[in-house]
Amino acid sequence: MTEPLTFALAKGRLLDDILPLLAVLGIEPTEALTGSRKLIFETTRPDVRLLVLRATDVPPYVERGGAHLGITGKDTLLEYGSDMLCEPVDLHLSKCRLMTATRKGVNLPKFGRLRVATKYVNVARRYFSAQGRQIDPIKLYGGMELAPIVGLSDVIVDVVDTGNTLEANGLEARDLIAHSSARLVVSRVAMKTRHALIAPIMGALNEWVNANNVS
């Protein structure tokens, strides 16, 4: 019996956006994905199963064969940075921007190393290196806006949606690093070995994007 196509989904807010797409694909989980401690779910299609993972775990699972394809944010893919993954569909969901931010009215030091608080350490290194700056990254997973206020960092690199959280904490967005949105991600190996199953999914998602004019 052929192994089912394994589809990795990012839990959290992104999962809420993705759930309606499963119906478009004709894939319905046999039990609720939210509120469960399970990580693997069967579907009404015997040839497809779902994994529900942290967004940051989707790329390594897909790259290393734990899943054949998945959906996660472009910000996560930029941080992971693999040339063994392809992104055939931009779903234009969960849009945000990866940006630098500092305290309002405060200029960054022009010389020396910058202290950068972020969970996007690789993104930050590449961005500031392109600016000719070296950084001392401070990896944080939350409370990013606090770092410049208490003097822990000179700048932060984080995703920005409305900017209201920055505003509420006396910070302002500065430089745009990249736009982010949910992407279908497929391993290059699976694109070849499971193409007959993956191609219809790519086609249906592209049709949905075009039909809903979410570009």
Closest CA to 117 of 76, 92, 164, 154: 154
Secondary element (H or E) of residue 7: strand 5-10
Q: Decide which of 3.40.190.10, 3.40.640.10, 3.40.630.10, 3.30.1280.10 is the CATH code for 5-94+181-211.
A: 3.40.190.10
Q: How many CB atoms lie within 10 A of CB 158?
A: 25
pLDDT at residue 1 is higher than 60: no
Alpha helices (runs of H) in the chain, residue ranges in sequence order = 13-24, 58-63, 74-80, 121-130, 146-149, 164-168, 188-193, 195-211
- Residue 173 near residue 163, CB atoms below 8 Å: yes
Residue 213: its pLDDT value, please?
Answer: 64
Q: Give domain limits for the chain.
A: 5-94+181-211, 96-179
Give the mean pLDDT of 173-182.
Answer: 96
More confident residue, 97 or 19: 97
Which numeric CATH code is attached to 96-179?
Answer: 3.40.190.10
Q: Rounded to a whole number, what is the distance in angstroms from the first to the last CA of the chain?
A: 39
Each residue's pLDDT tens digit, 38-58: 899 999 999 999 999 999 999
pLDDT at residue 191 is higher than 60: yes
Establish whether domains 5-94+181-211 and 96-179 are of one fold. Answer: yes
CA distance 88 to 122: 23
Please state the three-class secondary structure of 46-107 as a single string.
CCEEEEEECHHHHHHHHHCCCCCEEEEEHHHHHHHCCCCEEEEEECCCCCEEEEEEEECCCC
Residues in CB range of 210: below 8 A, 6 or more apart:
none
Residue 112: its pLDDT value, please?
Answer: 87
Give the mean pLDDT of 62-86.
Answer: 96
Do β-strands 5-10 and 48-53 pair in parallel, antiparallel, or remain unpaired?
Answer: parallel
